[in-house]
Amino acid sequence: MNTKRLNITLPEKIAEALEGYNNKSRFIAEALAEKIQRDNKEKMDRLLAEGYKKEAQQGKAIDRDWEEITMEGWPE
């Protein structure tokens, strides 16, 4: 894996919590990778939910259109 050196600033409590880890860079990289993966999954879930809702609305509209066509000429 290619790496890039960064200079970051952390809240003091988080920096203190990292003192127990031998490889702080690896720990931070893994934590960030997990967070990014979780954020991406949440975004995808949100987009899928929006798409399903839109598709359901379109399906209902098509059903109404077909019901009107099917019922044409029938007594109410």
The answer to whether residue 73 scores a pLDDT higher than 70 is no
Question: CA-CA distances (angstroms) from residue 65 to 52, 54, 72?
Answer: 20, 17, 11
Is there a domain that residue 33 lies in? Answer: yes
Is there a domain that residue 40 lies in? Answer: yes
Q: What is the pLDDT of residues 52-64, one digit of tens each?
A: 888 877 878 777 7
Q: Which residues form the domain of 51?
A: 12-71
How many separate domains does the chain show? 1
Is there a domain that residue 30 lies in? Answer: yes
pLDDT at 10: 96
For range 37-43, the mean pLDDT: 97
The answer to whether residue 16 scores a pLDDT higher than 80 is yes
Query: What is the average pLDDT score of the chain?
Result: 88
Is there a domain that residue 49 lies in? Answer: yes
Tokens 């109404």 appear where? 64
Is there a domain that residue 2 lies in? Answer: no
The SS3 assignment for 75 reads coil
Q: Which residues of 15-51 are buried (b: 16+ CB within 10 A; e: fewer)?
A: eeeeeeeeeeeeebeeeeeeeeeeeeeeeeeeeeeee
